[in-house]
Chains A and B, each alone.
Chain A
């Protein structure tokens, strides 16, 4: 009788992505794999035709790129192979065995079949999972971003001519095809380019016969780009070489695919967030603002696809939110009349920090001039209601904690705000600390800037001098621990659907935001953006330069995974959350995520020593 080797099946059942397979698929996998043993020092070439997937049963492996840069270290339960490498990384990587390894070798064809059949299984192997699910979207819309691949925007096939084609025929071909250039090919390979300009300078002006072959006037061995290059790189190439036509060739075969022109680049920039902000500024009523705002998720998906950094995406979402807020305020003023006294509209929390993500809720307030009178209350209440309702209609939900300008308590004159902050700093109760975390990340959005400046000046410095307050903040911050167990395993929580998941906000980015806030307050740094706070801290000695760098990287990495996961949720039409099941991550990403959490963990420890120790 056929005996499934229980050791193999048993082990694979515990390893992502194989743990999610049904019994039949797993049995098929086990039947078709083979087991190999590699001594320490051995190398496994992952380049070329070796597309097999390796699951490490025991031992450890180091992945290095072609230029010998360390890419990753892997151990039992991790998977590697060509298909697992992050897209865009060098393809010719080498796995060297650090400790003797027992490997389960799974044929590439089998993995390919499973990827087709099983969506979850597939997503494990895709780092840029989003980009693919968005392909269909992109094709129907004529707007692109510079981070996109050249191949994505060269939509029509290359117009080709043979080397021997008469110049006159080439000119006719160009006219018929309505292109300004042709690619000259020989044996399906790119050998030259002829442009409109060549016809003018090298034929007409040089008095050459139109019957001469194009080979005579072409630019031989032209500069070209591969279809997988980023648009951005292509643009740089065109700028630096001062050319307007850039042939695009297929990655592997070098067969010409098309021609990229400066015009294509112009078209590609249509989706810049600036356009969205401009259209918001042209809106005539709140409903129109909401309509434009509905385009934001699509833009964000494109930015994710274009590999924009999480920091940039956070800033872009925030600037769009700022634009919506400002526009709504203008519309409110148009409706309610000019304000009776000067006021400032403030943003807190993630909008304040400029690291808003999709699904962030509102945190705002009104700061009024001290000359405000009781009779003016009605005006500001209506203003706040108009703006907050408008934002909610734009998808920025009401704050569940009611930290909004619509709450009377958060619609106060400067003197009252100063009192609030003094209270929080001097009597740091649990509630006060919770408020402090939100309100210390404050930013001016609209209205009288001088009011905001006075409040900020009041706050900055005051907090840093109060060690008890900082100790309280630290204690509070330590409540958000990275989800890392003792043996560097993920500590999972149950998400809304009771699936085990990582909370990438409260246990991922928030701890870093907290660390940056506390150190910044202590150093009297006025910045509120987490990255800016950390960079500003380089001038102080509280945090080592190494820690600052690590925190910056960790924040970007965690935020990036969070935004990618949110993009995926959007693409699938699910609710946008901060939860992520780590099983969908590739081993490489899982490994890096653990490293990022470990950085946060150690910085939290340092913070505890620095601020928390003595006072509590």
Chain B
């Protein structure tokens, strides 16, 4: 109930601003119902790299995503975009290996968000640690489109937290260590696409352990949020 309410509220608040922007379609198609079976859902699994952790001071450097349809990661759905940065890249290059020169040949954040919107309609977004990535994406969205990216999303970190709590355990929620617990192979790459892909694999593993796949519904992946 809250899920629907939140969508209508968000939609009502921002619909006017979203008109004629690439986000418009997101405001016209409601998100999938919570009762929708897992197999019929389309997921866009995202990861973003940032120049720091503070959305107000730092920027998006790159975004990558892959799509899950009928419970499988779609082979040619991988997308990777380097994002044009206003400020200098600074400290974070040490982690992500992106240099200013690489970023110079990148797309504008508006274009990347427009492409994302074309994928996100009717789909559910998936992140590992959604709040951080979402904070950056929404800030960029409001700056470029004057309205937030309206979509349902789930968080593999939250799913993992819930599973661990149910088992009475506590353990690291870092992507790599979560993957290890499901026996997923180690990955060496560290860019937004390979992290999105790694998250997608983790998500499939979590779903497999949530229950019989045929009976699984969107609401079983709670908390399902609306941004």
A2 touches B183 (CB 8 A): no
Q: How far is the CB of A97 from chain B (nearest CB, A)?
A: 10
Residue pair A3, B72 in contact (C-beta under 8 Å): no
Cβ–Cβ contact B72 & A36, under 8 A = yes
B11 interface residue (CB < 8 Å to A)? no
Point out the residues of chain A lying under 8 angstroms from B205, CB to CB. Answer: 37, 100, 102
Q: Within A24-41, which residues are at the interface with B (CB < 8 Å)?
A: 30-39
Contact B197 A5 (CB under 8 A): yes
Contact A3 B78 (CB under 8 A): yes
Expressed in whole angstroms, the Cα–Cα distance for A3 and B71 within the complex equals 21
Report whether A3 and B183 are in contact in the complex, using a CB–CB cutoff of 8 Å: no
Q: Which of B64, B74, B81, B194 contacts A34 (CB 8 A)?
A: B74
CB-based contact B194/A58 at 8 Å? no
Interface residues on A, range: 20 to 34
User: With A32-B76, A36-B204 in contact, is A102–B189 under 8 Å at CB?
Assistant: no
Report if A99 contacts B (CB, 8 A): yes
Cα distance A157–B209 in the bound complex, in angstroms: 55
- Given that A3-B64, A7-B194, A59-B183 are contacting pairs, would A35 and B209 also be in contact in the complex, using a CB cutoff of 8 Å? no
- From residue B128, how far is it (CB to closest CB) to chain A in Å? 16
Q: Does A153 contact B (CB under 8 A)?
A: no
CB neighbours (8 Å) of B76 from chain A are 2, 30-32
Pick from B182, B194, B200: contact of A6, CB under 8 Å: B194
Contacts of A32 in B (CB 8 A): 75-76
CB contact between A36 and one of B71, B78, B79, B209 (< 8 Å): that residue: B71
Contact A3 B204 (CB under 8 A): no
> B79, B185, B187: which contacts A2 (Cβ < 8 A)?
B79
The reply on A512 being an interface residue by CB < 8 A is no
CB of A53 to closest CB in B, whole Å:
13
Which of A3, A31, A35, A38 makes the CB contact (< 8 A) with B193?
A3
What does DSSP make chain B's interface, helix, strand, loop or mixed? mixed
Q: Is A555 close to B, CB under 8 A? A: no
Interface readout for A57-87 with B: 1 if CB under 8 Å, 0 if not?
1110000000000000000100000000000
Interface residue? A4 (CB, 8 A): yes
The yes or no answer to B176 lying at the interface (CB within 8 A) is: no
Contact B208 A39 (CB under 8 A): yes
In the complex, the answer to whether B208 meets A5 with C-beta atoms within 8 Å is no
Complex Cα–Cα for A2 and B115 (A): 12
How many angstroms from the CA of A57 to the CA of B200 in the assembled complex? 14
Q: What's the Cα separation between A37 and B71 when bound, in Å?
A: 9
Residues of A within 8 A of B71 (CB): 36
- A-B pair count, CB < 8 Å, reads 79
What's the Cα separation between A435 and B219 when bound, in Å? 78
Q: Which residues 180-213 of B sit at the A interface, judged by CB distance below 8 A?
A: 182-185, 187, 189, 193-194, 197-198, 200-201, 204-205, 207-209
The answer to whether B193 touches A58, judged by C-beta atoms less than 8 angstroms apart, is no
Chain A residues positioned under 8 Å from B187 (CB to CB): 7
Complex CA gap A34/B64 in Å reads 17
Q: Distance in Å from the Cβ of B105 to the closest Cβ of chain A? A: 10
Q: Quick check: A5 and B81 within 8 Å, CB to CB?
A: no
Q: Mark B90-109, 1 if CB is under 8 A from A, else 0.
A: 00000000000000000100
In the complex, whether A317 has a CB less than 8 A from a CB of chain B is no
Q: How far is the CB of B206 from chain A (nearest CB, A)?
A: 9
Cα–Cα, bound, A59→B208 (Å): 14
**In angstroms, how far is the closest chain A Cβ from the Cβ of B176?**
13
Q: Does B66 touch A at the CB level, under 8 Å?
A: yes
Residues of chain A with a CB closer than 8 A to B73's CB: 34-36
Report which residue of B185, B189, B198 has the largest number of chain A beta carbons within 10 angstroms of its beta carbon. Answer: B185
Interface string of A1-27 (1 = CB under 8 A from B): 111111110010000000000000000
Judge if B217 is at the interface, Cβ distance under 8 Å: no
Question: B113 to chain A: closest CB distance in Å?
Answer: 15
Assuming A35-B201, A37-B201, A37-B205, is B185 touching A102 (CB within 8 A)? yes
Which A residue's beta carbon lies closest to that of B203? A37
- Could you list 24 examples of A-B contacts with CB < 8 Å? A1-B80, A3-B78, A3-B79, A6-B194, A7-B198, A11-B185, A30-B76, A31-B75, A31-B76, A32-B75, A34-B69, A35-B72, A35-B75, A35-B201, A36-B204, A37-B207, A37-B208, A42-B208, A57-B185, A58-B184, A99-B183, A100-B205, A102-B184, A102-B204
| B-binding residues in A (CB < 8 A) | 1-8, 11, 30-39, 42, 57-59, 76, 99-100, 102, 105
Q: Please give 17 more A-B residue pairs, beta carbons under 8 A apart, in addition to A1-B80, A39-B209, A102-B205.
A: A2-B78, A3-B79, A4-B78, A5-B193, A7-B194, A7-B197, A8-B75, A30-B75, A32-B75, A35-B75, A36-B71, A38-B208, A57-B185, A58-B183, A100-B205, A100-B208, A102-B184
